[in-house]
Amino acid sequence: MVTTRLSKLGSQLDSNYGLQMKFMDEETSWNMFFKIVFGKESCPLNLEKIGKKIVKSCRGLPLSIVVIGGLLEKMEPTKEYWKSIRRSISSLANLENDKHCLKILKLSYNHLPVHLKPCFMYTGTYEEDHVIRVSRLIKLWVAEGFLKPISCKSLETIAKEYLTELVDRNLILVHESGSTGNIKYCKIHDLLRDLCLREAQKERFYDVVEQHSPQGTCSQRRVVIMRSTPEEKVVDALKSRPYARTCISDCTRYERLPNPKLFELVNLRFLDVKSDMYLHLPSSINLLWSLQTLIVHYPVEEVIHAPVEIWNMPQLRHVHLWSGEIHLPDPRVITLSSWRIYKPSKE
């Protein structure tokens, strides 16, 4: 099954078995909005009229209705506030449907609490339609320092609460839940992902190689290398961003640890790479003296050999291997740093 917003593409695939989805009518739109905002409760009479105007302004676009509903469900149900949302949507009247929808989504982003904005924007680093492993996403949030510490709560617990709030606002979709009810995998709608990328570029939050403007890349702190990035651009990307602290890559064809340019990123604090050839971490790994978290993906379950120099990395706290086991050399007289090794379960 293929879904697309491009009608021409749909007709080219198979016009005999294509289904043209229609926009939602006013009654169906209102019922969806009503359930999201009020659940089983009744709508206050003073909000019903303005609420129906807001729904009408969504033009029968389900995503717009869902996101605006999630926004209003979290806000104080006052007529004045709802009128301000209505005015904001009305100003978008002459835009095409996709642009209209994106602007509505932007309203929801603008009203996000400050502590949730970076967490939401970070989901744009994943490829379109990618199923996101929540445990990995939480590790990224923790490593980046996005979480506001709360007494008697671990950072992981706080991260899960942030994720739940984004889900409640209909900005993140639950893809799969675990046996205990925790969110195991999540996804993000492609239009919301586009919003993340736009805001990230605007705020210089992270730099997506080949997609964002090259202006100011030298001082960029976060670098994202998508799977579609041409091979020759990867080395250039690492070379032109010497102050990067985070490098996120989903490249399996050429992103290998022994790339010498990688070890020039002395400020790197978080590194997530895939390697399809090398079973020995290079001795030059200790050049990344600021590194705190290292995640390495190998396609086969083999023993990964670490060099003795790994004990000389004073900031290294977490090593994650997604396949195989790691063999650590005898530290000998080298002082052992306080870091932990994880081999996550394949749940």
Per-residue pLDDT of the chain (347 residues; tens, 9 = 90+): 666 655 555 566 666 666 666 778 889 999 999 999 998 888 899 999 999 999 998 888 888 899 999 999 988 889 999 998 888 887 776 666 777 788 888 888 998 999 999 999 999 988 888 899 998 899 888 888 899 888 888 888 999 999 999 999 989 999 999 888 899 999 998 889 989 998 988 888 888 887 665 555 566 778 888 777 776 777 777 677 777 777 777 654 444 444 556 667 777 777 776 665 556 677 788 888 888 788 777 666 667 778 888 888 888 877 877 666 777 777 764 544 444 555 555 54
CA–CA separation, 119 and 136 (whole Å): 13
Residue 294's DSSP bridge partners are 271, 319
Cβ atoms of residues 327 and 305 within 8 Å: yes
Instruction: Indicate if 338 and 211 belong to the same structural domain.
Output: yes
Instruction: Indicate if 105 and 167 belong to the same structural domain.
Output: no
The answer to the question of residue 198 being in a domain is: no
- Structural domain ending residue among the three candidates 110, 134, 151: 110
Q: Report pLDDT digits (tens) over 114-130.
A: 999 999 999 998 888 88
- Structural domain ending residue among the three candidates 110, 136, 152: 110
CATH number at residue 320: 3.80.10.10
Instruction: Indicate if 170 and 228 belong to the same structural domain.
Output: no
Instruction: Indicate if 295 and 283 belong to the same structural domain.
Output: yes
Q: How many CB atoms lie within 10 A of CB 299?
A: 13
Question: Could you tell me how far CA 145 lies from the centroid of its own chain?
Answer: 15
Task: Fill in the amino acid letter for 17.
Answer: Y
Instruction: Indicate if 214 and 338 belong to the same structural domain.
Output: yes
Instruction: Indicate if 264 and 224 belong to the same structural domain.
Output: yes
Instruction: Indicate if 215 and 311 belong to the same structural domain.
Output: yes
The answer to the question of residue 196 being in a domain is: no
Of 108, 109, 105, the C-alpha closest to 121 is: 109
The answer to the question of residue 5 being in a domain is: no
Q: What is the pLDDT of residue 191?
A: 83
CATH number at residue 154: 1.10.10
The answer to the question of residue 17 being in a domain is: no
The answer to the question of residue 310 being in a domain is: yes
Instruction: Indicate if 224 and 337 belong to the same structural domain.
Output: yes
CA–CA separation, 153 and 160 (whole Å): 11
Q: What is the total count of domains within the chain?
A: 3
- Structural domain ending residue among the three candidates 110, 126, 152: 110
Domain range spanning residue 318?
206-342
Residue 255 has φ and ψ, to the nearest 5°, of -80, 90
Of 184, 202, 175, 194, the C-alpha closest to 126 is: 194
The answer to the question of residue 201 being in a domain is: no
Q: Give one DSSP letter per residue of 282-342, joined into a string.
A: -GGGGG-TT--EEEEE-SS--EEEPPGGGGG-TT--EEEESSSEEEPPP-TTSPPPS-EEE
Q: How many CB atoms lie within 10 A of CB 93?
A: 9
Instruction: Indicate if 182 and 212 belong to the same structural domain.
Output: no
Instruction: Indicate if 242 and 260 belong to the same structural domain.
Output: yes
- Note if the pTM is more than 0.95: no
Beta strands in 213-302 (DSSP E): 222-225, 246-249, 270-274, 293-297
Residue 300 gets the label, from left (phi > 0), alpha (psi -120 to 50) or beta, of beta
